Amino acid sequence: MAKVDVVERVSEIAGEILSPMGMALVDVEYKREGRDMVLRLFIERLDGGVSLDDCSEVSRQLSDILDVEDFVAENYALEVSSPGICRPLKKVADYQRFQGKLIKVKTFEVLADAAGNKRKTFLGTLTGVQDNAITVHLKEGQDATIPLDKVAKANLEFEF
**CATH 2.30.30.520 region(s) of the chain?**
92-156
Q: For domain 3-81, give the CATH number.
A: 3.30.300.70
In this predicted structure, what is the pLDDT of residue 40?
94
The per-residue pLDDT for range 86-101, each reduced to its tens digit, is 889 988 989 998 999 9
Question: What is the rounded CA–CA span in Å between residue 10 and residue 159?
Answer: 33
Question: What is the rounded CA–CA span in Å between residue 138 and residue 103?
Answer: 9
4 pLDDT band (50/70/90 cuts)? very low
pLDDT at 159 over 80: no
Question: What is the rounded CA–CA span in Å between residue 83 and residue 23?
Answer: 12
Q: For domain 92-156, give the CATH number.
A: 2.30.30.520
**CATH 3.30.300.70 region(s) of the chain?**
3-81
The per-residue pLDDT for range 113-130, each reduced to its tens digit, is 999 999 999 999 999 999
Adjacent-strand bridge partners of 147: 133
**What does the radius of gyration of the chain's CA atoms come to, in whole angstroms?**
18
